[in-house]
Structure 1
Amino acid sequence: MTTKRNKIVIGTRGSKLALWQANWVKDKLQTLYPELKVEIEKIKTTGDKILDAPLAKIGGKGLFVKEIEEALLSKRVDLAVHSMKDVPTEIPEGLQISAICEREDPRDVFISKEGILLKELPQGAVVGTSSLRRTVQLKALRSDLVIKPLRGNVDTRIRKLREGEFHAIVLAMAGLKRMGFEDIVTQPFPEDLMIPAIGQGAIGIETRIDDDFVNERIKHLNHEETAICITAERAFLSVMGGGCQVPLACHARIINLQPSAFSLKLVGIIGDPEDKIPIIRGSCEGSLSQAERLGADLAKELLKRGGKEILEKVYK
């Protein structure tokens, strides 16, 4: 039986981008349910507290969600709004990802101080990113680049570029568009050239499984096509079992083969954090109903082709 309530509390990180996402969900809910009062509660996560080290060195999973999930389980908040790229594949007992909202542009973008393209950077130029995934792919494109850690929110990263700490930086287009910074983009990377993070650009809504009131209202925010793609990508991640310590990427997209005929196409990589083994890359294609199996099979293929060796070296 669904208990009638007049208020829902959203749990979120306190960064400008996280608050944009939470307010977007809030606005959608209040449009659908004008009688509902929706509040936002900011929660500081482990990933927000440690700003002086690359994520790969911090280790662990759920750096940006653990404390929010604890607030959800304790009923301090009624739902959590996450960037899906931050959500581990293992969800705590009693919780679920109940909706995945329509994905924003998933691409990574290159932003240079002088407005020059990646291929035009001088030899030995310094590029900022905190992501091992981006690092190995940048090195594959330009082995002469010096890649240095870049942490902080979108504003902080852009400020560091403008102050001259880096010749260029790489960020996610989705965050820039949501924050109104897309005009500073020098060069978007095609998804097949710089494969995005798993879940990049998608907002996920996490709820308690037994909260029928919230789940009934949240289901209207689920975007089926995005959910199919994220299901495939997260199946890839689940089989890989990797976290921030391993350069992993998988991107799924739905392609229209002919009128009313659609296919799901995946591309994925696993890289060596020490840059001693070339990037292992693969792709596959199949029906939309096979999303989970396609992601899992692609991961298994890459593991057989040398990915297992990389994982064993990282986690030994």
Structure 2
Amino acid sequence: MLKADTTPKRKIILATRGSPLALAQTHRVLNTCAHAFPHLRFEIRVIKTTGDKLQTASLAHTDQDSLPSPTAKGLFTKELENALTEKSADMAIHSLKDLPTELPEGLILGGVLRRADAHDLLIYRSPALAEKLQNAVTDWAPGVKSYRGFKRGLKIKDLPQGATIASSSTRRQVQIQHLRPDIRVIPIRGNVGTRIRKLREHPEIDATLLAAAGLERLEYHLFPDGHFTAPKTGSDPAAAQAELDGILGSVLEMDEMLPCVGQAAIGIEIRADDPLLNEICRAVTHPNTQICVTAEREFLRAQGGGCQSPVAAFARIIGHRLQMRAVSFRITPPRWITVEGKLTEAEQLGREAARQLSE
């Protein structure tokens, strides 16, 4: 134990974005760290990132003059990393999927918490809600699209010809259109509540996609019959539940929608040369999650991509072996592969997957 650094006077500042999901994740990290190190003080500092300032724009098609670089890499992380470098914060808490694989000099991915459910969910209106919304329309005219609803258990393959799915994720878009070239994909931005509201208000949107982990961390609950319950906390839980009435969700299996690299994992970025921060991260890191995301991130790094790249990968531990499923839509036709290796060779496995998809 590092006695000089573990006095009650040492305060550890956790830098985070200010979105509800980012704050929920950061509180989870804070509570985990505080439980492991009760003699230390942990404090949250909210920082607005470039990505937060561009919430109304599509990350994949943002005007280049408004960005610090010609890619979407680091839009949700740069300002947090600046705080680490300037020592105005000690830890930067990220949705790991947003953290670039190439980090600034002196910074490292110090740890990861246990991964949550990495599946994506297809979100849509029930037939009853669609009928209710359509009956409330007073200014309908020929050519205006009507609200459509679908029975529970909906999959992408079940959507009608020419349906519209709202998603700003390049990864999701290419997988949707590979499964169903006839489906139209349009951009959508905003938090969970905003996206559900848009689904209710805009008949041109038939469905949207959300990450299961994000909903769980925000305390939404999806039941087996497809209906949701809203968080019991917040300024108006009853209003939040009313917005969810008639909204259904279906889990998309991995063979239908492979997740983003690092999806459902929370990453802790720190200064590499701080012994105490390294000790804290070692104590709170979930080893199996660390092995899996190491393989995925090495695959992405070897592919030269970021969170908006048309690639996907998901690793899991089966017995005493590491298995990873990966796909790249940079090649035509796209190719899915499964690679397997030792738990101690996660980086090599990631590079091997990238090599196979580059052949």
Q: Give the Cα–Cα distance (whole angstroms) in 2 for the partners of residues 53 and 45 of structure 1.
A: 14
The superposition leaves residues 185-236 of structure 1 with CA deviations (integer Å, 9 ceiling, x where unpaired) of: 5211112321100000000111111222222223211011000000000110
For 2:328, give the aligned amino acid.
I
Question: Shift of residue 52 of structure 1?
Answer: 2.5
SS at match of 1:176: helix
Q: Give the Cα–Cα distance (whole angstroms) in 2 for the partners of residues 234 and 210 of structure 1.
A: 22
Question: Shift of residue 245 of structure 1?
Answer: 5.1
Corresponding residue for 2:124? 112
* Selected match of 1:50 from 51, 54, 57: 54
Q: Give the Cα–Cα distance (whole angstroms) in 2 for the partners of residues 94 and 150 of structure 1.
A: 35
Corresponding residue for 1:80? 92
What is the correspondence of 1:56-95 to structure 2 with a 5 Å cutoff? 56-58=60-62, 59-95=71-107
Question: Shift of residue 242 of structure 1?
Answer: 1.6
The superposition leaves residues 88-126 of structure 1 with CA deviations (integer Å, 9 ceiling, x where unpaired) of: 111111111111110000111111122531333222121
For 1:35, give the aligned amino acid.
H
Corresponding residue for 2:108? 96
Corresponding residue for 2:215? 176
Corresponding residue for 1:295? 350
Q: Is 2:68 the counterpart of 1:26?
A: no
SS at match of 1:186: strand
* Contact in 2 for aligned 1:280/1:302 (Cα 8 Å): yes
* Selected match of 2:255 from 188, 192, 198: 192
Q: Give the Cα–Cα distance (whole angstroms) in 2 for the partners of residues 67 and 245 of structure 1.
A: 19
Corresponding residue for 1:279? 334
Question: Shift of residue 298 of structure 1?
Answer: 0.7
Q: Give the Cα–Cα distance (whole angstroms) in 2 for the partners of residues 187 and 294 of structure 1.
A: 31
Q: Give the Cα–Cα distance (whole angstroms) in 1 for the partners of residues 279 and 293 of structure 2.
A: 21
* Contact in 2 for aligned 1:133/1:197 (Cα 8 Å): yes
For 2:322, give the aligned amino acid.
L
Question: Shift of residue 72 of structure 1?
Answer: 0.8
* Contact in 2 for aligned 1:136/1:279 (Cα 8 Å): no
* Contact in 1 for aligned 2:260/2:307 (Cα 8 Å): no
* Selected match of 1:238 from 301, 305, 309: 301
Q: Give the Cα–Cα distance (whole angstroms) in 1 for the partners of residues 336 and 162 of structure 2.
A: 26
Question: Shift of residue 284 of structure 1?
Answer: 0.9
Corresponding residue for 1:154? 192
Question: Shift of residue 62 of structure 1?
Answer: 0.8
For 2:170, give the aligned amino acid.
L
Corresponding residue for 1:307? none
* Contact in 2 for aligned 1:129/1:148 (Cα 8 Å): yes
* Contact in 2 for aligned 1:57/1:245 (Cα 8 Å): no
Higher-Rg structure is: 2
Q: Give the Cα–Cα distance (whole angstroms) in 2 for the partners of residues 248 and 182 of structure 1.
A: 29
SS at match of 1:133: helix
Q: Give the Cα–Cα distance (whole angstroms) in 2 for the partners of residues 194 and 102 of structure 1.
A: 22
Q: Is 2:20 the counterpart of 1:16?
A: yes
Structure 1 stretches of 5 or more lacking a match?
257-261, 305-316
SS at match of 2:340: strand
Count how many residue pairs are aligned between Structure 1 and Structure 2: 296
Question: Shift of residue 244 of structure 1?
Answer: 4.7
* Contact in 2 for aligned 1:192/1:267 (Cα 8 Å): no
* Contact in 2 for aligned 1:133/1:246 (Cα 8 Å): yes
* Contact in 1 for aligned 2:167/2:208 (Cα 8 Å): yes
For 1:303, give the aligned amino acid.
S
| Runs of 4+ displaced beyond 6 Å | none
In structure 2, do the counterparts of structure 1 residues 244 and 218 end up closer, same or farther at CA, with 3 Å as the change threshold? closer
* Contact in 1 for aligned 2:317/2:323 (Cα 8 Å): yes
Of stretches 120-129 and 234-243 in structure 1, the one that deviates more from structure 2 is: 120-129
